[in-house]
Structure 1
Amino acid sequence: MSTAVFIGRFQPPHLAHLETIRRALARHDRLVVVLGSAYSYPTPKNPFDVEARTAMLRASLEPALEPRVRFVAVPDDYYDDPRWFRAVRKAVEGVVGKEEKVCIVGYHKDESSYYLHGFGDWPFEPSGVRRELNATLVRERYFGGDEGWKAMVPEGVRAYLERFAQTPEFARLQAEWRALKHRRALERAYPYPILHLTVSALVRARDQVLLVERQSGLGQGAWALPEVHLGPKETLLTAALRALREKAGLGLSAERPTAWWAFDYPERSLRGRVVCYGCYFDLGFSAPPGLGAPQAFWLPLAELDRSQARFFEDHYQQICWFLGRPPQRPTPEEESA
């Protein structure tokens, strides 16, 4: 038995995705669809969760094909590509076993398609799909109010998106999409690319981490590390301590952080090219200090993975990096909690 693996974000699924699935099933016994960017906070770039994307794809398949398709979800791991490849392999092998003959199907869209050749003994098999269609264009028209998106997606996806457009969540995402369009239009007026430098602060105390709930702007309602833009006369440390004071109401005295790192994945933020310098403060077994901001709270590490869909940008990945652990898929029990 042969298995094809189709990796993508499917935000949302469109006709080229469906054609790729049909062609793969014409050549192979079954198909595993890997849903990337899983368990992330909804944004205009990734508006739909795993369940919604799975439902849209299932609704688009012919009844005879649907039993031959399996779905697995893999979270982003921006700062360790080999570990991400291992996570994908583990998820697929959990469905088909380790002895199965497997290949990767897809098409080279742009530089983000580098992963197609990264699985060693799983060869790449071009899908042969040549449609000039991508999910970015679908989302642009969808959030922009252009009805042309309806001709780009299967009927099952169209029905779902029409229902979603009547929800408060769509209104929130559309407002963010408009704000981002305005921001990018302003930045295009500058004669050079703009680089934003921010500083985040991770504080750990007794296996709890300090978080804040964003009150406004992009990612309103998301959980985040305290973060500020680096001031022109600040060091990384003074900016991190300021982030804790201003965002969490925490006055922390520290000569230097336990660790720091530059989180520089180019696509980590929809705000533009934002490099975030993370500072980690480990207070050991000290009791979590009191906080002076109502939006700040302590999250037990035992609840970290089940909560990852609440996190702003790559802040969940930042925490994982400092703690020396990979991003984890929530267990079925955690997902249903």
Structure 2
Amino acid sequence: MAPFRGCLIGRFQPFHSGHLRLVERIAADVDELVIGIGSADASHTRRNPFTAGERVMMIRKTLESYDITDYVVPIEDLERNSVWVSHVKSMAPEFDVAYSNNPLVVRLFSEAGIEVRQTEMFDREDLKGSEIRRQMIDDGDWRQHVPEPVQDVIEEIDGVGRLREIE
């Protein structure tokens, strides 16, 4: 029997503690999880400072100690929403259900006949990529919001320095 597989797509700029709690929650519902790294073609900007490869490292290193069967796949942006779901399906292992709160993503998957489950948001005030990136730029306490392996990756690539230098 094939495993029941879910798909979660996000930009993960960076992968933070809310994302980790979300992955843990979804993992309780599925046998395997496909994690799609959205905007994989974007990097070195204030909104998308980290490359797809760096985000893969953040996620893989964080999930190493968890009993979660996962596949992390980069998903480049398309400027044609009508073919986006087929693009995702072409890049990812087959999945049975998608998880998202993004209204456009929910609509696109639903229109393609894929079940979509809305997800709980965790501590959204503090666990927001834009807020964490702002704290990185302003020398705030961003580390408290990301798992330790993510801190290690950001330090390895001088992610804070990058954010401070790019416009």
Partner deviation per Cα, 1:46-65 (whole Å, 9 max, x = no partner):
11111110111111115343
Task: Output the CA distance in 1 between the equivalents of 2:155 and 2:81.
Answer: 36
Task: Output the CA distance in 2 between the equivalents of 1:117 and 1:131.
Answer: 25
Task: Output the CA distance in 2 between the equivalents of 1:127 and 1:34.
Answer: 16
1:174 and 2:164 correspond? yes
Task: Output the CA distance in 1 between the equivalents of 2:61 and 2:54.
Answer: 10
Deviation at 1:40, TM superposition (A): 2.7
Q: 1:125 aligns with which of 117, 120, 138?
A: 117
Q: 1:151 aligns with which of 117, 138, 144?
A: 144
Residue in structure 1 matched with residue 128 of structure 2 by the alignment = 134
Q: Where do 1:219-230 residues align within 5 Å?
A: none
SS in 1 for 2:44: coil
1:115 and 2:109 correspond? no
- Native 8 Å contact 1:37 1:76 kept in 2: yes
Partner deviation per Cα, 1:13-60 (whole Å, 9 max, x = no partner):
001111111111111000001111112342121111111101111111
Distance 1:107 1:75, change over 3 A: same
Q: Where do 1:67-82 residues align within 5 Å?
A: 68-78=69-79, 80-82=80-82
1:89 and 2:82 correspond? no
Deviation at 1:127, TM superposition (A): 2.2
Task: Output the CA distance in 2 between the equivalents of 1:130 and 1:51.
Answer: 25
Residue in structure 2 matched with residue 19 of structure 1 by the alignment = 21
- Native 8 Å contact 1:3 1:32 kept in 2: yes
Residue in structure 2 matched with residue 243 of structure 1 by the alignment = none
Task: Output the CA distance in 2 between the equivalents of 1:134 and 1:14.
Answer: 8
Distance 1:172 1:33, change over 3 A: closer
Task: Output the CA distance in 2 between the equivalents of 1:141 and 1:127.
Answer: 26
Ranges of 4+ aligned residues in structure 1 off by more than 3 Å: 170-173
Larger radius of gyration: 1
Residue in structure 2 matched with residue 104 of structure 1 by the alignment = 98
- Native 8 Å contact 1:141 1:149 kept in 2: yes
SS in 1 for 2:38: strand
Task: Output the CA distance in 2 between the equivalents of 1:136 and 1:13.
Answer: 12
Which AA in structure 1 matches 2:143? K
Task: Output the CA distance in 1 between the equivalents of 2:9 and 2:81.
Answer: 15
- Native 8 Å contact 2:98 2:117 kept in 1: yes
Deviation at 1:172, TM superposition (A): 4.8
The runs of 5 or more residues in structure 2 that have no matched partner are none
Instruction: Name the count of aligned residue pairs.
Output: 161
Task: Output the CA distance in 1 between the equivalents of 2:138 and 2:155.
Answer: 14
Residue in structure 2 matched with residue 204 of structure 1 by the alignment = none
Distance 1:129 1:173, change over 3 A: closer
Task: Output the CA distance in 2 between the equivalents of 1:17 and 1:135.
Answer: 10
* Structure number with higher strand proportion: 1
Distance 1:174 1:64, change over 3 A: closer
Deviation at 1:160, TM superposition (A): 1.6
Larger relative contact order (Cα-Cα within 8 Å, sequence gap ≥ 6):
2
Identical aligned residues as a percent: 25
Task: Output the CA distance in 1 between the equivalents of 2:162 and 2:22.
Answer: 32
Deviation at 1:117, TM superposition (A): 2.9
SS in 1 for 2:72: strand
